[in-house]
Every structure is written in structure tokens, then in C-alpha cells.
Amino acid sequence: MTRSFASMLDYANHLSLTFLSTLCRCLNRACIIIDPDRDVNLDGSASNPWRLCTVDQVESLKALLRVIPIWTTGIMMHINLNQNSFATLQANTMDRNILNFELPAGSLNVFLVLTLTIWLTFYDRIQLPLLARFTGRPRGGLSPKARTGIGLLVPVAARAMTAVVETIRRKTAIEE
């Protein structure tokens, strides 16, 4: 099948070259033509797409593999943050009276959401512009990877602090 010269130029104008990255170089073999007669059709497409991939497909797989560690820690964080029953059990044992009103134990999670909303507003509107002015870089000078790491570290520290508080609370309850 022969293409016209105009259609080939039009195809070439919309083509963006993607180069293979050096990360996970073992995957680069998937887009190397070993035997042109066997691997490539006359029109330039792969005769067996399972044996020969495009550079874009290989780079997409590499991008997916780079995200897997963040996803796995995200799964652990999801498990961590969905243990709301522990906070409710803790709230059952504390004095929840404010003036003449007793707060229900299950409603204390509302304060978690309110605190998170206030913190995110403060972070986005006040802290990040201050960091950007101080570092001279947009968005506070922190890379997305650093922000993700901090975002994963803070809840872990919060759970550790919860464990310390619960240990102290239990010791105090046993002594009384």
C-alpha cells in the first residue's frame, strides 16, 4: 500500500519523537526490531504487537512502574485512615460534655474533617506562597515526590502519636 507524499508529510507533522529513558533499560528490548522481515509489516506496523512494542508503549509501562511504590503506600494509608472506629471507641471513654450538651462519640470525626479543611486552606493560601517567596520557586520549591513523602509521613506520625496517647490513657485508667 503506497501513501501519497502529502499524507506522509501530514503524518510527520503530528508525530512527536519519544526517546527511551535509561530507567528500567531491560524493558527497552520490547521495542527493538531484531528481524525486520519477521517483525515489521510492509506498512511499517508490527506484525505481532505482542513481540514488538512502540517506544510510547514501553515508556508508558515505565511510567506505570514508577508510580507503583506510591500506590502501595497509598493503599496502606487508606487502610490507616479508614480505622475511624478506634477514634470512636476512644471517644466513648472520654468526657464529651460541653456546657449542658454531650457530644455523640461518632460525631468527633467531624472535627477531623474540619481540621483538615482549615489546614488545607492555610497550606494552599498562606504557607505555599510564603515558601515560594522564600525559595524563589513556584509552589514552594517542593517537588511532587517530596510533597508525597511528607504527605505519607505525617499520618504515620499521627498514628504513632495516637498509640502513645492510648498507652498513657490505658495506664491512667488502670491506676484509677
User: Looking at the domain assignment, is residue 27 inside a domain?
Assistant: yes
Highest mean pLDDT among 67-76, 83-92, 102-111 belongs to: 102-111
Distance of CA 108 to the CA centre of its chain: 28
User: Looking at the domain assignment, is residue 52 inside a domain?
Assistant: yes
Q: Domain range for residue 43?
A: 1-66
Helix (H), strand (E) counts: the chain:
7, 2
Total domains, the chain? 1
User: Looking at the domain assignment, is residue 97 inside a domain?
Assistant: no
138-171 per-position pLDDT tens digit: 777 777 778 878 887 887 888 888 889 889 988 8
User: Looking at the domain assignment, is residue 160 inside a domain?
Assistant: no
Residue 98 sits at φ, ψ, to 5 deg, of: -125, 115
User: Looking at the domain assignment, is residue 156 inside a domain?
Assistant: no
What's this model's pTM, rounded to 2 decimal places?
A: 0.45
